[in-house]
């Protein structure tokens, strides 16, 4: 993960330390939400003054809000337009309020990114579109997209890679050249249907590029984040993973 020094300096100018700025950049770019557990794991710190000081800064500057969910814990949401403007990501939807399920998914996604900071991520929609259209010479018409209807009289808006799951270059095996790597992230409640929808959207992209697709998940790296949210029973989880594996096998054979 290559973070522009100018972006880190811009966050430092808001009064954050070096390690805090790096954490805030990753959260704002990939999730918008984080937990105290994730901050502590990232910094290697323990509960106490450090976390209190960090949260006090976020609260005082009105850069984040605390959201509490029964039986699930406390989540911090980076919402301040000014903070996102400092890293030139003012229009990211991460700063808006979202549903409980969206938040769960973003926290799982953040676990993955924090555990795999060595990967070369395409951070924004434009980064992804530019890579496929300019470097791989793929037509925009073949990219996974969703049309949003505007107000009466206005033209619809087409957005690409709307799932906003991590997309990056990584070698599928040690010593192998990097390939385009798509990822699917699920909070544990819509695994099968969500995976099927995701792979259907990715199908056209794979057929037109013929680039090897290497699905990656948090568990495939050996990283097993401690779940914050209630997850399905282990038996159900194993069954769903087998069903998703079958879906991917059909997809890979296209």
pLDDT at residue 161, rounded to an integer? 87
Contacts 24+ apart (CB under 8 A), 74-81: 74/35, 74/36, 75/33, 75/34, 75/35, 75/103, 75/107, 76/33, 76/34, 76/35, 76/36, 77/32, 77/33, 77/103, 78/24, 78/27, 78/28, 78/32, 78/33, 78/34, 79/32
pLDDT at residue 152, rounded to an integer? 73
User: CA-to-CA distance for 64 and 179, rounded, in angstroms?
Assistant: 36
- H helices within the chain, ranges in order? 5-12, 18-30, 36-43, 49-60, 81-86, 100-115, 125-130, 191-209, 234-252
What pTM was computed for the model? 0.75
Give me 228's structure tokens. Answer: 């914050």
pLDDT at residue 182, rounded to an integer? 79
pLDDT at residue 198, rounded to an integer? 56
Q: Specify which residues 74 forms β-bridges with.
A: 68
pLDDT at residue 205, rounded to an integer? 44
Domains of the chain: 5-98 (1.10.10), 120-252 (no CATH)
pLDDT at residue 145, rounded to an integer? 85
pLDDT at residue 4, rounded to an integer? 93
pLDDT at residue 51, rounded to an integer? 84
* pLDDT by 10-residue block (mean), the chain, 254 residues: 92 95 96 93 86 92 90 88 94 86 89 91 92 89 83 82 86 82 71 54 46 38 35 45 61 52
Phi, psi of 22 (to 5 degrees): -65, -40
């Amino acid at each position: 993960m290559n973070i522009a020094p100018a972006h880190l300096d811009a966050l430092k100018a808001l009064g954050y330390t070096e390690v805090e700025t790096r954490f805030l950049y990753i959260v704002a770019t990939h999730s918008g939400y984080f937990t105290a557990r994730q901050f502590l794991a990232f910094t290697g710190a323990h509960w106490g003054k450090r976390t209190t000081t960090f949260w006090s800064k976020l609260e005082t500057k009105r850069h984040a809000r605390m959201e509490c969910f029964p039986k699930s814990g406390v989540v911090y949401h980076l919402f301040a337009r000014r903070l996102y403007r400092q890293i030139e990501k003012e229009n990211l939807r991460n700063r808006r309020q979202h549903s409980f399920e969206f938040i769960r998914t973003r926290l799982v996604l953040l676990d993955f990114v924090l555990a795999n900071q060595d990967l070369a991520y395409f951070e924004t929609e434009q980064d992804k579109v530019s890579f496929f259209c300019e470097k791989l010479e793929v037509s925009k018409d073949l990219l996974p997209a969703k049309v949003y209807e505007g107000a009466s009289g206005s033209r619809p808006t087409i957005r690409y890679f709307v799932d906003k799951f991590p997309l990056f270059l990584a070698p599928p095996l040690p010593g192998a050249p990097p390939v385009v790597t798509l990822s699917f992230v699920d909070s544990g409640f819509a695994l099968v249907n969500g995976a099927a929808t995701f792979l259907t959207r990715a199908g056209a992209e794979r057929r037109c590029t013929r680039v090897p697709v290497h699905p990656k998940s948090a568990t495939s790296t050996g990283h097993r984040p401690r779940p914050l949210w209630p997850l399905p029973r282990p038996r159900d989880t194993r069954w769903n993973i087998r069903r998703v594996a079958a879906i991917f096998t059909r997809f890979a054979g296209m």
